[in-house]
Amino acid sequence: MKYSKQETDQFVEANVLNFQLNGTGWHQLIRDMLYEFCLAGWNLNNKVGGKEKFGGLRCYSLSEDDPLNNEIKKIITKYEALSVKTCEICGSAGKLRVVNGWDVTLCINHYIEDVDVIYIKGDTVFLNDRFLFKLSEIKKVETPNSFKGIRVCLSGDEKPISLNTGNPNYYLLLRSIPLHLFSEEYRHKIRLIFENLKDCEICGYKALWEEHCLRCNDEPWRDSLLDDYEDKTEYVKQSQMLLRMDQDSYEEVANFCDRSFEKTENYRILFNDDEFEEFEKDW
Ligand SMILES: [Zn+2]
Ligand SMILES: [Zn+2]
């Protein structure tokens, strides 16, 4: 390399600050990228900068030297690809996710901060670390459309509290609320659901109710799917691979914090790592 360690260190530390980012999670990544710029022969008097866009690192800096630019473009592409696997906040392994309509790359710990998770400790129900209500203080529970969303009415004049399947641990709450607090129709229905859950071969939890799984939302195999799939094994395998891809992070969040359903004993994953890699590439 044509520069001394001191020169490169100075260049790297000065230019890492030229990037507009949402946190310091990518700083090491950018330092590594700038170090590769030096190795490629970048003129240290030229500033390098960039920003976060759509959850990925962007760097538009180029030199006046074409052969060098080919190298620089390769380096940038490499680090752009690494950035969408690195949490913007803390630098841990991350994934591209959508938060309030924005694309961001976050680890599960930082992503979960934006998800309203129900936690039940004894008689008390929390939303993340915020107290919501005590189960013993519920006056009645309304089900406006289906059992997939509830309005909890408390004794007193407080506004009802709405919760739904978008809140992890929703079904854990549903089965923790005394049945007599629901309307007669739903009392019956909710009891029926939790007494008759079947094993889901796709996610591996006992969460299958009638035509779909309450945990992964997939449908169980039925013969009419033969139009689209060779056989049941093919269908389950593909559905399992889609679940592993987990584009909406739903499965990762469920694994991280949802305790609504029990794991099934005979769950089998039908694909291997090579098949998954192939599947992901073709997707
Ligand atoms: Zn993080
Ligand atoms: Zn499932």
Same domain, 158 and 210: no
Phi, psi of 256 (to 5 degrees): -75, -40
* 184 and 204 share one domain: no
Cα 166 to averaged position of ligand 1 atoms, centre (Å) = 22
Q: Does residue 264 fall inside a structural domain?
A: yes
Please indicate, yes or no, whether residues 221 and 249 belong to a single structural domain of this protein.
yes
Q: Beginning with the edge strand found earlier in the chain, give each strand of the sheet holding 50-53 in spatial order.
A: 19-20, 50-53, 56-59
Q: Does residue 216 belong to any structural domain of this protein?
A: yes
Question: Is the pLDDT assigned to residue 283 strictly greater than 90?
Answer: no
Task: Answer with the one of 168, 189, 210 that is the final residue of a domain.
Answer: 189
Closest-lying ligand to the alpha carbon of 109?
1
Distance, CA 106 to ligand 1 centroid (Å)? 5
Alpha helix positions (H), 58-177: 66-83, 108-112, 170-176
ipTM of the prediction: 0.91
Asked whether residue 246 is domain-assigned, the answer is yes
Query: Domain range spanning residue 122?
Result: 118-189
172 alpha carbon to ligand 1 midpoint, in Å? 27
- pLDDT value, residue 157: 79
Residue 267 CA to ligand 2 center (angstroms) comes to: 11
Does residue 277 share a domain with residue 219?
yes
Do 231 and 271 fall within a single domain? yes
Write the pLDDT tens digit of every residue in 235-274. 999 999 999 999 889 999 999 999 999 999 999 999 999 9
276 and 204 in one domain?
yes
In this prediction, residue 1 has a pLDDT band, given cuts at 50, 70 and 90, of low
The answer to whether 169 and 115 are in contact (CB under 8 A) is: no
- Which ligand ends up closest to the CA of 239? 2
The residue-averaged pLDDT of 134-157 equals 93
Looking at the CA of 197, name the nearest ligand.
2
| 180 lies in the same domain as 225 | no
**136 and 205 share one domain:** no
Residue 72, C-beta contacts closer than 8 angstroms, at least 6 positions apart = 37, 40, 42, 61, 62, 63
- What is the CA(246)–ligand 2 centre distance, in A? 13
Residue 208, domain member (yes or no): yes
- Dist. CA 208 → ligand 2 center (Å): 6
Q: What is the pLDDT of residues 149-204, one digit of tens each?
A: 999 999 877 899 999 999 999 999 999 999 999 999 999 999 999 999 999 999 99
Domain total in the chain: 3
Same domain for 16 and 56, yes or no, is: yes
Same domain, 177 and 254: no
Report how far ligand 2's centroid is from the alpha carbon of 221 (Å).
12
Question: pLDDT tens digits for 193-246?
Answer: 999 999 999 999 999 999 999 999 999 999 999 999 999 999 999 999 999 999
Whether 87 and 9 map to the same domain: the answer is yes
Closest ligand (CA of 88): 1
For residue 151, the CA-to-ligand 2 centroid distance in Å is: 25
User: Any idea which ligand is nearest the CA of 22?
Assistant: 1
Across residues 271-279, what is the average pLDDT? 96
Is there a single domain that holds both residue 184 and residue 201?
no
pLDDT band at 77, cuts 50/70/90? very high
**Structure confidence at residue 158 (pLDDT):** 83
CA of 258 to the centre of ligand 2 (A): 13
